[in-house]
Amino acid sequence: MKKTLKKLLKSILKSAWRVFVDLLPDKWHVIVEYMRAHGSFPNLKHPRTFNEKIVYRMLYDRDSRMPPLVDKIIAKEEMAARFGNDFIIPTLATFESQIDVNFNALPYPCVVKTNHASSTNVFLLKQPANAKEEEKIRHQLRGFLRWDFHALWEEWAYSKVRRRLLVEPFIEGGEHGLVDYKFHTFNGRVFAIQVDVDRYTDHRRSLRDLNWNEMPVDFTYRRPSYALPRPDNFNNMLRYAEQIGEGFSYVRVDLYEIAGCVKFGEVTFYPGAGLVDYFNPPEFDELFGAQWSMSEKK
């Protein structure tokens, strides 16, 4: 009983906090969330750290090129037009809402995801057994489509995306799952490669330099204790990331290596909204921030 009441109180306080911060003006919304996450006041006049520059961009950067690139459907279309259909994971279907999903017509196994958010995936290894299971999945997708990254974190580009669903084939990973290679790209030059492994078991993360040396830093998650071989297509990955990042002060380009081929994942302009990724030691927050040349708001 005591545990149940504690859980209920925690839920109420969390909801009350959400209502409070959502009522704040954009700037103070970001400041309060940043202070809660990092324990310090962000320098928005002269941002220096990587996370400060992310929240600065959220508030002040209105680059019209960003919204199409954070839309997973449109971004894939643009990447296919630039680099060919083999560069993207096929889009098997798109839907305007969860109501439109035809489970009888989907190729299994597959993944249904939203085009406007992260971590909003439903993995369907086989067709739902009955209408009750279908309704449960529709309810989950409905919740995902309601996520508003602009309202939640002030990530402006997502406010311009028409929310939809897309379906992709399910891709089996190896021993450590499907390895994510995330290229931190500044002014068209890759500075570091973030490698995420074991995402759904024991998430580990490593930051690598251009020579594939591991940087002596934990980035939110601990570094893996085992060796991470450099991908066979590493040089091609670098080339793709730098071409995609050309003309942007910063963008993270996410790629995969699947069956010997480079595949596009997504691009991200606001990693973690500047709130959920932590460098340990913290000096690396300034090191990454120093790579990011940006115009400051006067």
β-strands 121-124, 180-186 pairing: unpaired
- Contact between 205 and 184 under an 8 Å Cβ cutoff? The reply is no
Question: What's the full length of the chain, in residues?
Answer: 298
Quickly count: other Cβ atoms within 10 Å of residue 293's Cβ: 10
DSSP bridge pairs for 113: 121, 166
Higher-scoring residue by pLDDT: 137, 22: 137
Residue 165 phi, psi dihedral angles, 5° rounding: -115, 145
Q: State the DSSP string of 58-96.
A: HHH---TTHHHHHSHHHHHHHHHHHH-GGGB----EEES
Strand partners, 183: 193, 253
What average pLDDT does the structure give for the chain? 93
What is the pLDDT averaged over residues 169-198? 95
CA distance 272 to 199: 16
Identify whether the C-beta of residue 272 lies closer than 8 Å to the C-beta of residue 155: no
Mean predicted confidence (pLDDT) in 160-181: 94
| CATH class, 175-290 region | alpha beta
HSE toward the beta carbon, residue 51, CA cutoff 13 A:
25
Rg (CA), the chain: 20
Q: Where are the domains of the chain?
A: 90-169, 175-290
Residue 268, pLDDT score: 96
Residue 161, Cβ density class (10 Å: 0-12 exposed, 13-18 middle, ≥19 buried): buried
With cut-offs at 50, 70 and 90, classify the pLDDT of residue 295: low
CA dihedral 234, 237, 242, 244 (to 10 degrees): -170
Q: pLDDT band for position 297 (50/70/90)?
A: low
Task: Tokens for 193, please give them.
Answer: 């490669």
CA angle 215, 48, 58 (to 5 degrees): 100
**pLDDT above 90: percentage of residues in the chain:** 84
Fold of 90-169: Dna Ligase; domain 1 (3.30.1490)
Question: What pLDDT, on a 0 to 100 scale, did the predictor assign at position 152?
Answer: 85
Share of the chain above pLDDT 70, in %: 92
pLDDT tens for 59-93 read 999 999 999 999 999 999 999 999 999 999 999 99
- Identify the three-state secondary structure at position 207: strand
Which helix (H) or strand (E) segment holds residue 53: the answer is helix 50-60
Question: Residue 2 pLDDT > 70, yes or no?
Answer: no
**Per-residue pLDDT tens digits for 202-246:** 999 999 999 999 999 999 999 999 999 999 999 999 999 999 999
Q: What is the pLDDT of residue 16?
A: 65
Q: Does the pLDDT at position 298 exceed 50?
A: no
pLDDT tens column, 45-55: 999 999 999 99
pLDDT of residue 231: 97
State the pLDDT at residue 23: 77
* Joined tokens for residue 33: 């969330």
pLDDT in tens, 240-283: 999 999 999 999 999 999 999 999 999 999 999 999 999 999 99
